[in-house]
Amino acid sequence: MKLRRKRVKPIGLKDVTIIDDARLRKAITAASLGNAMEWFDFGVYGFVAYALGQVFFPGADPGTQMIAALATFSVPFLIRPLGGLFFGSLGDKYGRQKILSMTIIIMSVSTFCIGLIPSYNSIGIWAPILLLLCKMAQGFSVGGEYTGASIFVAEYSPDRKRGFMGSWLDFGSIAGFVLGAGLVVLISAVIGEASFLDWGWRIPFFVALPLGIIGLYLRHALEETPAFQQHVDKLEQGDREGLADGPKVSFKEIATKHWKSLLACVGLVIATNVTYYMLLTYMPSYLSHNLHYSEDHGVMIIIAIMLGMLFVQPVMGLMSDKFGRRPFVIIGSIALLTLSIPCFMLINSGVMGLIFAGLLILAVILNSFTGVMASSLPAMFPTHIRYSALASAFNISVLIAGLTPTAAAWLVEATSNLYMPAYYLMVVAVIGLVTGIMMKETANLPLRGATPAASDMAEAKEILQEHHDNIEQKIEDINDQITELEAKRSHLINQHPRINE
């Protein structure tokens, strides 16, 4: 039976999407601000964990208070996969822009409400229960936030600049952390520690509401991404029912057909976020509770480190567009594996300059992951399932990574070994190394299921020529394979007495 070949329309210059710079800047600003909002809360929560422990768990000893407060930080990660499934499905059906507007509303309101919760001394057990409910609402909204924002930026970015543009998303994360931590330090310094424990800790959470309103305004004014709009246009032309029903691919089918991408996504997210939470959420508590530095002292060190990370972050993204994403994942994982113990030796030295050096090395390693994650993850899946698949895999991974502060605090308390966080990071480094080796390189390539995207017409012509050259090379490779197979076929035929050509 002769197979009918489906005719594929050749890709021409008109098929290359030209990205408008003004729209691209607005998209990055809106996505990054929402991500900054998410990490603003993480930063505030990590840096006021000691205060929250005393306010919401006053009957426990200091070590248990710290673990309890950090556990309240970790528990909402159980809800994130549900939020990922919910918002991911909606994002693939209704578009990225609408869902990102929803997530920032829930996130800012739930963060604001934390500042309204009375203390344990006022309402008893209801205080930690209400805190947990607010954190769970945050977890549900955050389940669709980072993945949606990374997809939004990736689908708006030109192929040759996706690494640089995507790096600004985690620039927003770090900036949110700096803002949250800096606000904690400022308020504590102005009103004093006693007043901060009494009522001052609430102020940073109140700031979340105006930040959320600004983010909502910016996101609501944006248009849908070019890649998703192309997907909708195709459905309108060939499958109007499909447009109404949304994606028809179940998670089981995604796991079956895209299992390599799912594993790569899980590995990269675990390596990145465990390092992230260890350095930026757990380390302030480690410095104050375990190494006995004052809270403000430990916070100032971490803030200085994060300010340095802000400068390194876009450089990593820019370099990944030139050298690829995989080298940064592989080199970062090797560095984390070999340097974690030396870094914690420096952190435990008692010498301020050496402490700073140890943290700075870990921060640069973290930058090698965050600099490429937002551009790598969306490129792993095709457009019609990108939000669903990425949100599911991402949040299952973050569920594991979110236990980092609690697990690290418990391990140190249980073993009295101050190097347990280093061992923890070394295990994660192995996961990152395997991921870097197995993942496909996606730098300078179009997103799966999307046409090429360029910054201007000149770049579009270059991309189209490269695309055609790549096709010619693939044809030559196939011809070489055919020649080899024909030679093998002839060799086998010659060995058989009854087969004639």
CATH number for the domain that contains residue 69: 1.20.1250.20
Q: Could you give the percent of the chain with pLDDT greater than 70? A: 88
Q: Is residue 68, in this structure, part of any structural domain at all?
A: yes
Q: Is residue 235, in this structure, part of any structural domain at all?
A: no
Least confident piece of the model among 104-113, 163-172, 453-462, 477-486: 453-462
pLDDT of residue 406: 82
Which residues, in sequence order, are CB contacts of 296 under 8 Å at separation 6+? 185, 188, 189
Q: Tell me the pLDDT tens digit for each residue of 208-232.
A: 888 888 888 877 777 777 667 766 6
Task: For residues 438 and 460, state if they share a domain.
Answer: no
Task: For residues 450 and 479, state if they share a domain.
Answer: no
Q: Tell me the pLDDT tens digit for each residue of 296-318.
A: 677 678 788 888 999 999 999 99
Cα separation, 262 vs 267, whole angstroms = 9
Task: For residues 287 and 314, state if they share a domain.
Answer: yes
Q: Is residue 284, in this structure, part of any structural domain at all?
A: yes
Show the domain range for 435.
19-228+245-455
Least confident piece of the model among 6-20, 131-145, 259-273, 342-356: 6-20
Task: For residues 392 and 492, state if they share a domain.
Answer: no
Task: For residues 419 and 482, state if they share a domain.
Answer: no
Q: Tell me the pLDDT tens digit for each residue of 364-385.
A: 999 999 999 999 998 898 877 8
Structure confidence at residue 244 as a pLDDT band (50, 70, 90): very low
Cα separation, 130 vs 134, whole angstroms = 6
- Average model confidence (pLDDT) across the chain: 82
| Mean pLDDT calculated for residue range 391-405 | 82
Residue 2 pLDDT greater than 60, yes or no:
no
DSSP 3-state of 454: strand
Closest to 407 (Cα-Cα) out of 91, 128, 112, 73:
73
Domain count, the chain: 2
Q: Is residue 283, in this structure, part of any structural domain at all?
A: yes
pLDDT of residue 1: 44
Structure confidence at residue 250 as a pLDDT band (50, 70, 90): low
Q: Is residue 31, in this structure, part of any structural domain at all?
A: yes
| Mean pLDDT calculated for residue range 469-484 | 86
CB atoms under 10 Å from CB of 85, counted, come to 18
* End residue of a domain, out of 417, 437, 455: 455
| Mean pLDDT calculated for residue range 285-302 | 77
Cα separation, 132 vs 128, whole angstroms = 6
pLDDT of residue 29: 85
β-bridge mates for residue 18, sequence order: 454
Task: For residues 147 and 94, state if they share a domain.
Answer: yes
pLDDT of residue 401: 84
Task: For residues 399 and 420, state if they share a domain.
Answer: yes
Q: Tell me the pLDDT tens digit for each residue of 311-352.
A: 999 999 999 999 999 999 999 999 999 999 999 999 999 888
Cα separation, 359 vs 280, whole angstroms = 10
Determine whether 198 is exposed, middle or buried from the number of CB atoms within 10 Å of its CB (0-12, 13-18, 19+): middle
Counting every residue written for the chain, the total comes to 501
Q: Which amino acid is at 82?
A: L
Least confident piece of the model among 47-61, 97-111, 182-196, 423-437: 47-61
| Model confidence, pTM | 0.79
Q: Is residue 12, in this structure, part of any structural domain at all?
A: no
C-alpha angle 359-364-367 in degrees, rounded to nearest 5: 125
Chain centroid to Cα 19, Å, comes to 24
Least confident piece of the model among 71-75, 153-157, 268-272: 71-75
Q: Is residue 11, in this structure, part of any structural domain at all?
A: no
Q: What are phi and psi of 18, to 5 degrees?
A: -95, 120
Structure tokens at 414: 């249980």
Residue 247 pLDDT greater than 60, yes or no:
no
| Mean pLDDT calculated for residue range 412-439 | 94
Q: Could you give the percent of the chain with pLDDT greater than 90? A: 21
CB atoms under 10 Å from CB of 479, counted, come to 10
Task: For residues 31 and 108, state if they share a domain.
Answer: yes
Task: For residues 306 and 317, state if they share a domain.
Answer: yes
Residue 5 pLDDT greater than 70, yes or no:
no
Structure confidence at residue 387 as a pLDDT band (50, 70, 90): confident
* End residue of a domain, out of 420, 438, 455: 455
The helix (H) or strand (E) run that includes residue 17 is strand 17-18
Task: For residues 366 and 417, state if they share a domain.
Answer: yes
Task: For residues 130 and 189, state if they share a domain.
Answer: yes
Top-confidence residue, 37 or 166 = 166
Structure confidence at residue 275 as a pLDDT band (50, 70, 90): very high
Q: Is residue 234, in this structure, part of any structural domain at all?
A: no
Question: Residue holding tokens 């800096």?
Answer: 182
| Mean pLDDT calculated for residue range 420-449 | 92
Task: For residues 153 and 200, state if they share a domain.
Answer: yes
Q: Tell me the pLDDT tens digit for each residue of 129-140.
A: 888 888 888 888
